[in-house]
Amino acid sequence: MNKQMKKMTALLNPQLESFIAVAKHKSVHAAARATHISQTAITQRILNLEQRLQTTLFIRTPHGMQLTSEGEKLLRYCHTVVDFSQETISELTNSGIHTIQRVKISGPTSIMVSRIIPSCNLLMKKFPQLYFSFDINDTNKVIDALRTGESQFSIVELEEVTRDMKSKRLLAEEYLLVCTSHWKKRKLLEILQSERIIDFDETDPMTMNYLKKFDLFDYAQSDRLFVNRTESLIKLVCDGYGYGVLTKEFSRSFLKNKQLIALNSGRTFDHPLHLAWYTRPEPPTYFQAIINAIT
C-alpha cells in the first residue's frame, strides 16, 4: 500500500481497508497486489466484514466485483471517514501547515467547463488548502461516483436525486440547435429533412427533445451519428457532417467565430440540472462555500 493510501485509511480498520481496495480495483487479485496482502487474507477480511454487518457487499459479475447498494453506502461512509480524518489530523497536529483537502466534482462537459470549474477556481483563492478534481463525464456514471463516495458532488438530473441526498437546482442549461456556418443560406426544414443529427450516444435525448418542443420532430431524419466526446461532436457539426444541440454557454465562442450558426431563430430549450451531495455530520467551511458558489 502506498503512502497516500496509508494516510487516507488512517482511521479505518484492516477489514475496511481491504473493502476499499476491492471496491477500487474490482477484483480480489488486483486488490491483493495493490495492498501487498494475500488474496486469502483479503477474501477472509471481506467475509468477516459481511458477517459482522450481516449483509452482502459485493456480487461477482463478468466485469469484476460490483458493489451492492449496501456496499455503496459503506464505501461512501469510508470516504467520509477519510475526509474527516484528514481534517481532524490537520487540526490535531496544527503546526501552522494546512493539510491539502481534496474535493471531487463530477458532471457533464458543458456545465463543468462553462460554470463549475470557473466557480471553483475562485474558491481556491479563498481556501488555499482546497484542491479540486474535476470529473468531466458525459455518461450515466456521474451519479454512481456520488453514490460510492468517489465524488463529493455530482451534477445530475432531478430524477437521479434520491431521498437520502441533498440537492440544489442550478440555472438551467439553454440548448441551441446549431449547424455549420456553411449552411447559413439553407432553410431550416430543408436541413432537417436532408441532414443527419449528431448526438453523444444512443441514449442522448437532447436533440430529439428540442425538436419535439418546437414541433420540428416530424421533419427530421431518424438516422443519427454518434460521438461520445463533446469536442469531437462540435468538430463534426462545424465540418458539416450534421446538426445537433449545444448549450448556449458552450457554443458561444463557436458562434462568435462564425464556425457555427444557430438554427430556429436562436430559440432555446431549457434543461434543468441539480447539484447533488450527501450530508455530512460536521461539514468543513469550504463544503458549504462550494454549494453556495455553484449556481
pLDDT tens for 265-292 read 999 999 999 999 998 777 778 899 999 9
CA atoms within 13 A on the CB side of 206: 25
Segment 215-244 shows an average pLDDT of 93
Longest dimension (CA), the chain: 70
Question: Residue 84: what pLDDT?
Answer: 63
Q: Select the more confidently predicted residue: 180 or 62.
A: 180
Question: Residue 90: what pLDDT?
Answer: 54
Q: CA distances (Å), 85 to each of 6, 7, 82, 188, in order?
A: 12, 9, 5, 58
Mean pLDDT across the chain, nearest whole number?
87
Question: Residue 169: what pLDDT?
Answer: 96
Nearest 5°: the CA angle 115, 254, 239 is 130
30-39, 83-92, 140-149, 211-220: the lowest-pLDDT one: 83-92
pTM (2 d.p.): 0.72
- 90-111 tens-digit pLDDT: 555 554 445 678 899 999 988 9
Segment 160-188 shows an average pLDDT of 95
* CATH number for region 1-70: 1.10.10.10
- Residue 88 in this model has a pLDDT that exceeds 60: no
User: Measured on CA atoms in the order 241, 243, 245, 248, is the torsion positive or negative?
Assistant: positive
CATH class held by domain 173-271? alpha beta
1-70 with 100-171+273-295: one CATH topology?
Answer: no
Q: Is the distance from CB of 84 to CB of 32 less than 8 angstroms?
A: no
- Residue 207 in this model has a pLDDT that exceeds 70: yes
Domain ranges of the chain: 1-70, 100-171+273-295, 173-271
Percentage of the chain exceeding pLDDT 70: 90
Q: Is the distance from CB of 156 to CB of 112 less than 8 angstroms?
A: no
CATH tag for 100-171+273-295 (out of 3.40.800.10, 3.40.50.720, 3.40.190.10, 3.40.1180.10)? 3.40.190.10
Helix intervals (H) in 54-130? 69-92, 109-111, 117-126
